[in-house]
């Protein structure tokens, strides 16, 4: 918490808001107490869900401390301090099970919880005879090789020069984006479970669900176009473009402005399908929670016959797009 203590003292803050991702919420109240004791501020915990650095709430405080994420540099948020929360890492030989699956040229990827071990993993793989290629940070991400669920540019940067991607991190969320966006095999090495898996089967399963949603939306006459007010998810220009596109194709689009996108808040709207301009992963990872098809913009383009079904077009929010 040292970066937070320092920022609070340097700026003379009196009130501080704290944001935690779901997985770290158990530490929230204890952390608020620590901040109050160490710096004399009044601390308040955001009880809203927090999904990433894209998601900073309005809080009536001098400073917000977001735990567990790296900043999105292009957002340049002056009132926010990010405190990373790296996870423990096992001895590197758990990576040995990946070696026969990777080929010689490996695109190495990770997420923010495992970034501190990245250079050690590079060195280990190179000792085993692999040539490791790493894509750089792009302004939406802070570190080389760092993936977001909505930004797989480090993979795109080296795609075509690697035999496989190795994602070192927990869960499938970040690596699935790469599997969907590229045709290169994606291997996951999970430092928590020490499991190694290929994402080919998961990719096929997810693509079947996405194709079914696109097919259903082809028949839709009226769309709800979702726009989130979250600072790193706000894509109003895209939403307007979608509305115009739908009109040019004889369909209707209604703009729906919200903070957190949820099935409950979308119920009751008289539309046949939704197009989501907020977090691109809502349509993919939460599809079963929604009664009506929820498409990303590139998926809508497929439904309207403007893009081919194959390769699957992953929706991404890169810094370049957001600033453009
Ligand atoms: S937009 Fe979605 S995937 Fe991207 S950082 Fe935010 S929560 Fe994660």
Together in a domain, 222 and 194:
no
Give the residue from 198, 215, 234 where a domain finishes: 198
Ligand 1 atom at minimal distance to the Cα of residue 149: 3
Question: How many residues make up the chain in this entry?
Answer: 324
Together in a domain, 128 and 186:
yes
283 lines ligand 1 (CB under 6 A): no
Mean pLDDT of the chain: 95
Does the pLDDT value for residue 140 go beyond 90? yes
C-alpha separations of 116 from 69, 74, 87, 287 in Å: 13, 22, 9, 33
C-alpha separations of 109 from 36, 144, 156 in Å: 37, 8, 11
234-261 pLDDT, tens digit per residue, is 999 999 999 999 999 999 999 999 999 9
Number of domains the chain is built from: 3
Together in a domain, 112 and 216:
no
Task: List the CATH number of the domain containing 254.
Answer: 3.40.50.11860
What is the percent of the chain where pLDDT is above 70? 99
Of the pLDDT bands very low, low, confident and very high (cuts 50, 70, 90), residue 203 is: very high
**How many angstroms does the Cα of residue 38 sit away from the middle of ligand 1?**
32
**How many angstroms does the Cα of residue 323 sit away from the middle of ligand 1?**
16
- pLDDT at position 319 is 80
Together in a domain, 242 and 261:
yes
Task: List the CATH number of the domain containing 159.
Answer: 3.40.50.11850
149 lines ligand 1 (CB under 6 A): yes
Which residue range is the domain that position 67 belongs to?
Answer: 2-83
Give the residue from 83, 110, 145 where a domain finishes: 83
Together in a domain, 180 and 214:
no
Q: Helices 2-11 and 28-39, interaxial angle, to 10°?
A: 40
Does the pLDDT value for residue 69 go beyond 70? yes
Together in a domain, 228 and 254:
yes
Does the pLDDT value for residue 323 go beyond 80? no
Give the residue from 35, 55, 83 where a domain finishes: 83
Q: pTM for the whole thing?
A: 0.93
35-64 pLDDT, tens digit per residue, is 999 999 999 999 988 889 999 998 999 999
Together in a domain, 143 and 226:
no
Together in a domain, 212 and 304:
yes
Of the pLDDT bands very low, low, confident and very high (cuts 50, 70, 90), residue 320 is: confident
176 lines ligand 1 (CB under 6 A): no
Together in a domain, 74 and 101:
no
Mean pLDDT within 306-322: 90
Cβ contacts of 300 within 8 Å, gap of 6 or more: 217, 223, 242, 245, 275
Protein residue with its CA nearest to atom 1 in ligand 1:
279
């Amino acid at each position: 918490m040292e970066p937070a203590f320092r920022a609070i003292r340097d700026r003379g803050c009196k009130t501080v808001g704290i944001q935690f991702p779901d997985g770290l919420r158990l530490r929230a109240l204890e952390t608020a107490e620590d901040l109050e004791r160490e710096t004399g501020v009044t601390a308040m915990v955001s009880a809203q869900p927090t999904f990433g650095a894209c998601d900073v709430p309005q809080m009536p405080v001098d400073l917000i401390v977001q735990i567990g994420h790296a900043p999105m540099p292009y957002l340049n948020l002056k009132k926010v301090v990010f405190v990373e929360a790296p996870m423990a890492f096992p001895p590197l030989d758990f990576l040995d099970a990946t070696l026969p699956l990777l080929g010689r040229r490996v695109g190495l990827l990770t997420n923010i919880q495992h970034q501190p071990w990245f250079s050690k993993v590079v060195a280990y793989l190179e000792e085993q005879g692999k040539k490791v290629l790493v894509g750089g940070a792009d302004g939406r991400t802070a570190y080389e090789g760092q993936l977001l669920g909505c930004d797989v540019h480090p993979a795109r940067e080296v795609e075509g020069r690697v035999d496989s991607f190795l994602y070192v991190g927990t869960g499938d969320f970040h690596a699935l984006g790469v599997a969907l966006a590229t045709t290169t095999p994606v291997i996951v090495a999970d430092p928590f479970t020490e499991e190694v898996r290929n994402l080919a089967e998961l990719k096929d399963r997810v693509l079947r669900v996405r194709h079914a949603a696109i097919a259903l939306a082809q028949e839709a006459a009226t769309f709800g176009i979702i726009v989130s007010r979250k600072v790193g998810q706000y894509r109003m220009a895209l939403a307007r473009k979608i509305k115009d596109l739908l009109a040019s194709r004889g369909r209707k689009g209604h703009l729906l402005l919200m903070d957190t996108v949820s099935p409950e808040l979308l119920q009751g709207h008289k539309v046949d399908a939704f197009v989501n301009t907020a977090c691109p992963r809502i349509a993919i990872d939460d599809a079963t929670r929604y009664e009506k098809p929820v498409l990303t913009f590139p998926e809508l383009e497929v439904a309207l016959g403007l893009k081919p079904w194959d390769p699957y077009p992953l929706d991404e929010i890169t810094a370049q797009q957001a600033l453009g």
